[in-house]
């Protein structure tokens, strides 16, 4: 569900015509819908309300301070994976917001920073990390609350680069050894093992993997408690899929149906770390056509958004719906696409459309947003919308080819405001100028 729709052949974000945003803020431009963000946060809160969950918005999905502040204002804590993300959460969130610190490579300095700044829980990924947290906590004279992250060794569920619970990935403690690791720190003066963490990857479009994971999790919690650990939290991470294509994603209630029984059985406080589910469908990347070109039997739309603005298609082969902001008469007002996640090319032929590659200005053959995509004829200056761009879009953007990163705007009803200004050349060289000799 999102608040982007066409009215009289013009795309609107909530009640703002998208061309108005392009005129005021320029392109490329990330456009966020506040109503969509809050709708999806509320959906998670409602679906899991029985468990009174601790919901920690995943900052890595999109760490814009204004968006994080919005999450905090509506009852969310934060899931972070670095000191930088931790500092974002502290700056954006309300005082006392719960912050869970995940990630496989926490340094001693990051651990110390987190302990000094009220970290709620560490998600621990390895035995060495567990001991390092304990040592830093002892040095500070405190006890660190930790949840052991298990790799439950489930079958593949999503893209190989984002599937985190199959054997052979860097994440979590092996399910065969995690009980021994937990036993080795019973009574440790710097550690309190208070939870089990299990993040299965993202995006996951079926509830069954969560049911399988919960079954294994319940058994592990029993084993930890038998060792003497006071297990209070079951952290099932995030990873709920979204509608990149059409309607392939499950509602939050479908995941709640298989997770809540484990919460009832264990009596644990549930922690969730959604990111993509909240912000993914809440934004478009707005771009403007620079040139069109036909060569070698191919047709190209060259527009001003590039792989440095949205790297997901190049990095993961991901599919984003792309459509003109002003579809011409005789052209459908939206692309014809099926929601089958196993279809490598779900976009169907449409009237007055032909296959085109949507590419950017970056000097790489891999700089594309779509390949062989049915689109209407486009001309220089036309606006394009890349949908479902809110998660892992701006947060993974770079300055490759010395391109300035895009601006971001937040739309609320009929109003809109800048939440990140467009970078300048001065920003690009600010860390280098003082080092010139």
Binding site residue list:
239, 273-276, 312, 316, 364, 392
Binding site residue list for substrate:
276, 312, 316, 364, 392
Q: Which two tokens stand for residue 194?
A: 């208070």
How does DSSP classify residue 154? P
Distance CA 183, CA 224 (A): 8
**Residues forming the active site:** 363
Note whether 259 and 270 are within 8 A (CB). Answer: yes
Note whether 285 and 310 are within 8 A (CB). Answer: yes
Binding site residue list for pyridoxal 5'-phosphate:
239, 273-276, 392
Contacts of the segment 93-98: beta carbons below 8 A, 24+ positions apart: 93/68, 93/69, 97/72, 98/54, 98/56
Look at residue 383 and give its three-state secondary structure. Answer: strand
Neighbours of 430 (CB within 10 A): 11
Q: Which two tokens stand for residue 218?
A: 């319940």
Distance CA 253, CA 18 (A): 32
Phi and psi angles of residue 416, each rounded to the nearest 5 degrees, phi first: -150, 150
Distance CA 31, CA 19 (A): 11
Note whether 2 and 281 are within 8 A (CB). Answer: yes
Q: Which two tokens stand for residue 261?
A: 């029984």
Sequence-distant (6+) residues with CB within 8 A of 329 are 9
Nearest Cα neighbor of 281 from 232, 231, 246 is 246
């Amino acid at each position: 569900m999102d608040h982007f729709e066409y009215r009289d052949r013009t795309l609107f974000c909530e009640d703002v015509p998208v061309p108005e945003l392009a005129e005021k803020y320029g392109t490329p431009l990330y456009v966020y819908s506040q109503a969509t963000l809050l709708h999806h946060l509320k959906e998670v809160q409602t679906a899991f309300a029985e468990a009174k969950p601790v919901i920690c918005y995943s900052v890595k999905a999109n760490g814009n301070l204004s968006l994080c502040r919005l999450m905090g204002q509506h009852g969310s804590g934060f899931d972070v994976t670095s000191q930088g993300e931790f500092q974002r959460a502290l700056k954006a969130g309300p005082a006392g917001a719960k912050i869970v610190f995940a990630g496989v490579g926490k340094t001693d300095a990051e651990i110390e920073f987190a302990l000094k700044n009220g970290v709620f829980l560490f998600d621990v990924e390895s035995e060495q990390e567990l001991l390092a947290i304990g040592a830093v906590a002892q040095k500070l004279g405190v006890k660190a609350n930790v949840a052991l992250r298990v790799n439950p060794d489930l079958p593949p569920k999503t893209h190989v680069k984002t599937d985190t619970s199959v054997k052979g990935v860097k994440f979590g403690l092996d399910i065969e050894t995690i009980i021994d690791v937990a036993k080795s720190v019973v009574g440790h003066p710097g550690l309190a093992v208070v939870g089990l963490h299990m993040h299965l990857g993202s995006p996951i479009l079926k509830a069954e993997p969560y049911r399988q994971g919960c079954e294994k999790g319940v058994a592990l919690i029993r084993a930890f408690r038998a060792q003497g650990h006071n297990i209070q939290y079951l952290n099932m991470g995030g990873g709920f899929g979204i509608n990149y294509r059409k309607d392939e994603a499950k509602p939050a209630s479908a995941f709640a149906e298989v997770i809540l029984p484990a919460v009832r059985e264990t009596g644990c406080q549930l922690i969730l770390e959604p990111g993509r589910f909240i912000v993914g469908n809440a934004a478009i990347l707005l771009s403007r056509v620079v040139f069109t070109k036909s060569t070698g039997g191919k047709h190209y739309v060259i527009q001003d958004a590039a792989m440095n603005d949205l790297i997901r298609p190049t990095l993961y082969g991901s599919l984003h719906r792309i459509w003109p902001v002003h579809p011409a008469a005789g052209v459908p007002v939206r692309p014809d696409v099926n929601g089958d996640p196993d279809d490598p090319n779900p976009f169907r032929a449409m009237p007055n459309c032909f296959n085109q590659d949507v590419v950017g200005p970056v000097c790489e053959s891999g700089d594309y947003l779509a390949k062989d995509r049915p689109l209407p004829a486009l001309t220089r200056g036309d606006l394009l919308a890349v949908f479902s761009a809110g998660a892992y879009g701006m947060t993974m953007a770079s300055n490759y080819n010395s391109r300035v990163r895009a601006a971001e705007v937040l739309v609320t009803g009929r109003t809109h405001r800048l939440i990140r200004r467009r970078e300048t050349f001065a920003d690009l060289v600010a860390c280098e100028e003082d080092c010139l000799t």
